[in-house]
A and B are shown apart, each in its own frame.
Chain A
Amino acid sequence: MVSVPPAQSELISADQPQSDLVLALPKGRILQEAMPLVRAAGIEPEAAFDDPGSRKLQFDTNIPGLRIIRVRAFDVATFVAFGAAHLGIAGNDVLMEFDYPEIYAPLDLKIGHCRLSLAEPEDLAREDDPQSWSHVRVATKYPNLTGRYFAARGVQAECVKLNGAMELAPALGLCPRIVDLVSTGSTLRANGLREVAVLTQITSRLIVNRAAFKTYPDQVGGWVERFQTALGAADAA
């Protein structure tokens, strides 16, 4: 007599519950300003994090179960929106561009101050009447945000997506206007451009994945509070 078949449940591989939280940090300018806050919140990345020669993409921290990844600013939002990272630091320019419903932005970290502005060549700006526009052609890294901004003003925006060196576009005739980040305005001036409108002011936010907030409310909420405290200390100093 042959025995009965093995129960299917015996064959199911035990799932590995992976309970690490991942903090996504943006490469570049913001990182310099963000690290003091990250450290003040009690997070100390492993040494390789500060080693420019290191090829690592993920970093352990002094906190067991908390890892750091360092990615492009735009990708921070994407990693967090899809739950691949649970916490992150991202500018509200990025958040507004993607408008991911799965991201909470509970804390304004008050770093990375700048603004998103519309600029055009000085010559054009002198006789330009924005009220008369029905259509504008704009080079930008933020096509969605730009499109929404103009649509709300009854203007159809045709956006040409560029990933950098926006200031070249008017000079080389790609399109007359650009929407770009401005902090001092010196890059614009150096390229003969004038800032004609501010779309939005920008700072960096602590962001949280919605599902992570719901499934680890105490852990994730705890980190928000620690950043809040670190921020309060930084403000007081």
Chain B
Amino acid sequence: MTAPGPFQRALLPEGLRDDLPPWAEHEAHMVDRLMSVAAGRGYRRVAPPLVEFEDSLITASGQGQGQGQGQSQSRSQSMFRLLDPVSQKMMAVRSDMTLQVARIATSRMAGQGRPLRLSYAGHVLRVRGTQLRPARQFRQAGVELIGSDALEADLEVIALAAEALTDLGIKGLSVDLVSPTLVPSLARQLALDLSTTEAARRALDAKDIAALAGFDKTVRDILTGLMQAAGSLDSALPKLERVSLDGQAARIRDTLVTLARALKERVPDLKITIDPGECRGFEFHTGVGFAFFAPHVSGELGRGGRYQVACPDGGQESAVGFSMYLDSLLRAVPVPVEHPRIYLPFGTGQEEARRLRSIGWRTVYGLVSVSDPAAAARAEGCTHLYEHGVALSLTADDEASEE
């Protein structure tokens, strides 16, 4: 065994990291911006605890489409568990805050009027990262609109998300609308067996037309049609309308079309794409799902959609929500530059320091008298030096920003 090196203490477990200046502040600032956009639209913030009893985290929310068990399983596999020494019950660390918000909505806030608009932000922890997002701890922030099945609710949440992301300075934002219930509904209508349905889903998720070769012609034509009806709204919508669907599947398609059109009208600047056949990652949704993207950022910036919340009395409430993940978002926003900080040499009056802060400066006070205050200011990472009542810029070539 090798002797522990001097840096061994700095080694963090896989998927965990320290955030340093200016990133830590930047991330907090981004969460604040999102929360204030949500607050501005009447969403009230809730803050559930980091750790809960395992059972409530697994079964808190929605069993849409009879997939409740799979959902519980996949969520339970993603959670860290620990035994509560006090109650001797198993607890779990949250891996997704939406479950907790749903729990609050259907328990402590069950008596409040509907629809209920809630927002949340906090850290989550997962057992495993993904290929694209190796982080195991990251911040999740979002909104939930619970207790309304109106299409207007979907529209409100998507528009809010778009506004928040644009507000953060993301360029070329686009949203992809999906209909995760369409393929399961089709499978029921066409009486496809389980393995055929699974093969169809895999093919659609990979957009692999070749994999449909062995399918019955009617099924193949529909699935191929759905696959080809993926893309920008203007080109894909006519293709989607041509796919021959009836009954429930047709109604699901119509919902997507109506929502896409309404969204285009509501947020004309937002780039909209549709992908009616895609299900992956939206297995628990019971209506339209959506994901936000930005050019040259790998992976999603945030996602959401409509789902069912299970109530303690056995009933269900329809809800629509949006979550964003700060680790992905940080890769999409402009690089933060340190907020200007001004170095006040030792002996600068406290009254003067207060006045500088009151007009927006961040002051760094010299603790001892030094011969070269500019050097001391640079060493402290200051952008400016306060000298003779003037803020001298230390960063650019340009000289003092006068009076």
> Chain A: residues with CB nearer than 8 A to chain B?
1-6, 8, 11-15, 17-19, 81-84, 95, 100-108, 203, 205, 208-209, 211, 213-218, 221
Q: A5-B342, A221-B231 are in contact. Are A208 and B207 (CB under 8 A)?
A: yes
Please state if B340 and A11 are interface contacts (CB–CB under 8 Å).
yes
Please state if A214 and B206 are interface contacts (CB–CB under 8 Å).
no
Q: A8-B337, A82-B132 are in contact. Are A19 and B295 (CB under 8 A)?
A: yes
How far, in whole Å, are A213 and B337 apart by their CA atoms in the complex?
31
Please state if B132 and A214 are interface contacts (CB–CB under 8 Å).
no
B209 — which chain A residues lie within 8 A by C-beta? 106-108
Please state if A82 and B298 are interface contacts (CB–CB under 8 Å).
yes
Give the dominant DSSP class at B's interface. loop
Q: A12-B335, A205-B210 are in contact. Are A217 and B232 (CB under 8 A)?
A: yes
In chain A, what residue has the closest Cβ to B390?
A: A2
> Please, what's the 1-or-0 string for B344-387, where 1 marks a CB less than 8 Å from any CB in chain A?
00000000000010011110000000000000000000001010
- What are 22 A-B interface contacts by the 8 Å CB criterion? A2-B361, A2-B386, A2-B391, A3-B391, A3-B403, A5-B361, A6-B401, A12-B335, A12-B337, A15-B171, A81-B132, A82-B298, A101-B280, A104-B206, A105-B208, A106-B209, A107-B209, A208-B207, A213-B230, A214-B275, A217-B232, A221-B235
Please state if A217 and B273 are interface contacts (CB–CB under 8 Å).
yes
Scoring B209, B295, B361, B403 by chain A CB atoms within 10 A of each residue's CB, the highest score goes to: B295
How far, in whole Å, are A162 and B280 apart by their CA atoms in the complex?
32
Pick the contact of B131 from A6, A8, A100 — CB < 8 Å?
A: A100
Please state if A4 and B298 are interface contacts (CB–CB under 8 Å).
no
User: Smallest distance from the beta carbon of A198 to chain B beta carbons, Å?
Assistant: 16
How far, in whole Å, are A211 and B293 apart by their CA atoms in the complex?
7
Nearest 7 Cβ contacts at the A-B interface: A83-B298, A108-B210, A217-B231, A104-B207, A11-B337, A5-B340, A217-B232
A221 — which chain B residues lie within 8 A by C-beta? 231-232, 235
Q: A11-B340, A15-B171, A217-B273 are in contact. Are A2 and B299 (CB under 8 A)?
A: no
- For B, the interface residue count at a CB cutoff of 8 angstroms equals 54
Pick the contact of A15 from B291, B299, B335, B360 — CB < 8 Å?
A: B335
A19 — which chain B residues lie within 8 A by C-beta? 295-296
User: Smallest distance from the beta carbon of B245 to chain A beta carbons, Å?
Assistant: 22
Please state if B340 and A214 are interface contacts (CB–CB under 8 Å).
no
How far, in whole Å, are A116 and B235 apart by their CA atoms in the complex?
39
B275 — which chain A residues lie within 8 A by C-beta? 214
Tell me whether B334 is interfacial, beta carbon within 8 Å: yes
A203 — which chain B residues lie within 8 A by C-beta? 210
How far, in whole Å, are A102 and B174 apart by their CA atoms in the complex?
17
A4 — which chain B residues lie within 8 A by C-beta? 359-361
Q: A106-B207, A108-B209, A211-B299 are in contact. Are A17 and B361 (CB under 8 A)?
A: no
User: Smallest distance from the beta carbon of A113 to chain B beta carbons, Å?
Assistant: 13
B336 — which chain A residues lie within 8 A by C-beta? 12
Scoring A17, A82, A101, A214 by chain B CB atoms within 10 A of each residue's CB, the highest score goes to: A214
In chain B, what residue has the closest Cβ to A13?
A: B335
Please state if A3 and B402 are interface contacts (CB–CB under 8 Å).
yes
Please state if B174 and A214 are interface contacts (CB–CB under 8 Å).
yes
Q: A209-B298, A215-B172, A218-B235 are in contact. Are A105 and B337 (CB under 8 A)?
A: no
Tell me whether B5 is interfacial, beta carbon within 8 Å: no
Please state if A12 and B334 are interface contacts (CB–CB under 8 Å).
yes
Pick the contact of B273 from A17, A101, A214 — CB < 8 Å?
A: A214
In chain A, what residue has the closest Cβ to B232?
A: A217
A100 — which chain B residues lie within 8 A by C-beta? 131
> Please, what's the 1-or-0 string for B385-403, where 1 marks a CB less than 8 Å from any CB in chain A?
0100111000000000111
Tell me whether B264 is interfacial, beta carbon within 8 Å: no
B327 — which chain A residues lie within 8 A by C-beta? none
